[in-house]
Amino acid sequence: MASGTFTPVRKWLLLPTWVTIGFFLLLPILLVVVYSFLTKEFRGGVDWTFSLDAYDQFMFDRGLFGDEAPSIEWTYITIFFRSIVQALIATLFCLIIGFPTAYFIATRPASSRSIWVFLITVPYWVNLLIRTVSMKFLIRDNGPMNQGLMALGLIDTPIHLINTNIAVQLGLFYSYLPFMVLPIYASVERYNFALSEAAADLYASRWTILREVLIPSVKPGIIAGCILVFVPSLGAFLAPDLLGGAKTFMIGSLIEEQFKGTAGNWPFGAACAVILLTLVLMALTLYARAQSKERAQEQRAG
């Protein structure tokens, strides 16, 4: 399979990409790690002296005047925890809606399948900012959703969603839903339905087939979908900012605030970015492990 027609020149072929990404992204990421160990200057800016202040601020509360005995600082842990929970819930909801959708589309006749895929793909290509703004407009207290429900007589007073965690959740879920559908669809499309039929021959019920045969076979697609929803949700900025009123912080807004907002603490922002990156790398490693285990099993089975 692997052929080497271009082996002699591959170094030159890969060079532009190596240089671009290595110099303009990998190096900067390392610089972020360096920055997280620098000292914050009064009124913003950084001083190039080594310090653990940023991580200390993240983990310990030393009181208003900085002279009390350190106790655990829960604030930032809470923000990270909230982001992780929000991202997990968004992933779960995307899975609940996305899996049946992907399955339904994959079992359509081949001729109409591409139309369905097209319908799911369109929102994915639409600007995320515009989609988030649309959601904000739809769900605000005097927005079309509440007006519509009130006109139908279903509710008397508007449902207050804007600036709540629920609104942020809705925004995340809505933003990344196509990311869940597409990989699962790709897996189900390749799934051999003879397996389901064999199970049915053995008198397995519909749900047993789903649970024991189908889902294990399309697991790589499901995991890929979950990763594609979870990772961007974790660092999301637009949904918490536009739908959450910038009060219930998530990791993304916390980091942004350190660089653009009043807080102006670059080393602390860099430290938060490093911690976020670590979390994401952990999630990706788990994913890679699960995949290689899968492959190993397949090889053993084969």
Residues 192-211 that bind other proteins (CB under 8 A): 193, 196-197, 199-201, 206, 209-210
Interacting positions 263-282 with other proteins (CB under 8 A): 263-264, 266, 269-270, 273, 276-277, 280-281
Binding mask 130-169 for other proteins (x = CB under 8 A): xx-xxxxxx-xxxxx--x--------------xx------
Asked if residue 44 binds other proteins (CB under 8 A), the reply is yes
Tokens, residue 141? 């207290």
Asked if residue 225 binds other proteins (CB under 8 A), the reply is no
Cβ atoms 138, 99 nearer than 8 A:
no
**Rounded Cα–Cα distance for residues 176 and 195 (Å):** 31
Asked if residue 259 binds other proteins (CB under 8 A), the reply is yes
Cβ atoms 101, 180 nearer than 8 A:
no
Question: Which span sits near other proteins by CB under 8 A: 21-29, 149-157, 217-225, 290-298?
Answer: 21-29
Give me the least distance between CB of 44 and other proteins, in Å please.
4
Give me the least distance between CB of 220 and other proteins, in Å please.
16
Interacting positions 83-122 with other proteins (CB under 8 A): 96-98, 100-101, 103-105, 107, 114, 116, 118-122
Question: Which span sits near other proteins by CB under 8 A: 149-157, 215-223, 260-268, 289-297?
Answer: 260-268
Cβ atoms 58, 76 nearer than 8 A:
yes
